[in-house]
Amino acid sequence: MKKELLMGTALVSTLGAASVAEAVTATMSGNHQTGIEFDSPTGGTDTNAQINDNNFTVSLSETTDGGMTISSSFKLANEDAVDGDLDNGFTLAFTDGSKLDVIAAGNASGSHAVSIPGSAGAEGVATTSTNTAQTGLDFMTGSTALGVEYHTASDFMADGLKMSFSASTDSGAAATATYRIDSHIAVGATYVTDLGDTAVTIGGGFSQVEGSKTGQAVANDNGGYHVGISAVTGDLTVAVGFADGDVAGTSLSSAAEYTADVTKAGVKYVTGDLTFNVGFASGDSTDNTIGATGGSDDSKDVTSASVSYAVASGVTAILGYTSLEASDEGSSTDDGSAWYIGANMSF
């Protein structure tokens, strides 16, 4: 018995020492935003609702003797919600400043979409599920978990240029009646330069996705391009962007596909503890059943604005407003406006 106790103590001590020596560096960050939305749809009933946005992220990293950093992260989600944010892979950061994302790496085109200012609030006017018009620049990007994305170091080939390349493949499982993404290739780039007192950022990307389903084949798989430009002069930011592409079966239903384009513009101004945002997004699309052409027109025109006030370190009060004009199958529908008042606490 004494030998067994001694061996057990030695084993625990060894494992404990090893775990300390091999422990990675862990950091935590996140935010808790909560507020009230006042939704006023045209032709509908006004509603009020509490809106929450809670995120808690654990980031893990360690550096090898050769100087390469290995990192990963995951988010803790509410137990009553299904969240794909837990499907994170690894990032290898090399000594030359380049990085390689492996497993659930994402799409290089979407990584370089320029941020366009808009309301910082959580308000919005819901549209019918058949309205396929989009308001984001990277709506056509997609990938599978079996992929990689390589990010070059800064000043790649030219001062201020940074690029990304990504690819993914399928799992080998048999196709079903629901359209799915099987593979993709994509490229994205961001160029940063100074024009006098103005910092200019130009970003763009191209993505081509292949998918499959049993039955009717799609007319166009996911794919397209986007480009945007942002100019920052002191406390003023002005940005515009454009995107055009196709989506099949993933953003609406397994039995539909659409061609869409988006134009966005926004302005942000910071003065002291106050931040003012104004944004506009216009999206048009033509949707069809899978394999068909022609189709009907959908649209969304979204105007939004917000005022944010830094109450204390990490605490921001937000007042936001959004107005929507929309049409589905060529007929006006789901117009309305919404207000939001709330606060965000970040750490």
Q: Looking at the whole model, is its pTM more than 0.85? A: no
Q: Tens of pLDDT along 306-318?
A: 999 999 999 999 9
Q: Tens of pLDDT along 189-207?
A: 999 999 999 999 999 999 9
The answer for 4, left when phi > 0, alpha when psi is -120 to 50, beta otherwise, is: alpha
Whichever domain contains 227, its CATH number is 2.40.160
What residues make up the domain containing 254? 40-54+105-346
Q: Tens of pLDDT along 267-302?
A: 999 999 999 999 999 999 988 887 777 777 889 999
SS3 state at 11: helix
SS3 state at 300: strand
Q: Is 236 a member of any domain?
A: yes
Q: Tens of pLDDT along 102-160?
A: 998 999 999 999 999 999 999 988 887 778 899 999 999 999 999 999 999 999 999 99
Q: Is 3 a member of any domain?
A: no
Q: E strands of 81-173, at which residues?
A: 90-93, 99-102, 147-151, 161-168
Q: Is 275 a member of any domain?
A: yes
Q: Is 64 a member of any domain?
A: no
Q: What is the pLDDT of residue 345?
A: 95
Q: Which residue(s) pair with 147 in the sheet? A: 168
pLDDT of 76 strictly over 80: no
Distance, CA of 3 to CA of 9 (rounded, Å): 10
Q: Is 303 a member of any domain?
A: yes
Q: How confident is the model at residue 16 (pLDDT cuts 50, 70, 90)?
A: very low
Q: Is 28 a member of any domain?
A: no
How many domains does the structure of the chain reveal?
Answer: 1
Q: How confident is the model at residue 23 (pLDDT cuts 50, 70, 90)?
A: confident
Tokens, residue 323 = 């107005």
Q: Is 67 a member of any domain?
A: no
Q: What is the pLDDT of residue 78?
A: 54
Distance, CA of 63 to CA of 232 (rounded, Å): 35
Tokens, residue 54 = 């809670």
Q: What is the pLDDT of residue 44?
A: 79
End-to-end, the C-alpha distance of the chain in Å comes to: 50
Q: Are strands 315-328 and 47-63 parallel, antiparallel or unpaired?
A: unpaired
Q: Is 35 a member of any domain?
A: no
Region of poorest pLDDT, from 10-24, 74-88, 134-148, 232-246:
10-24
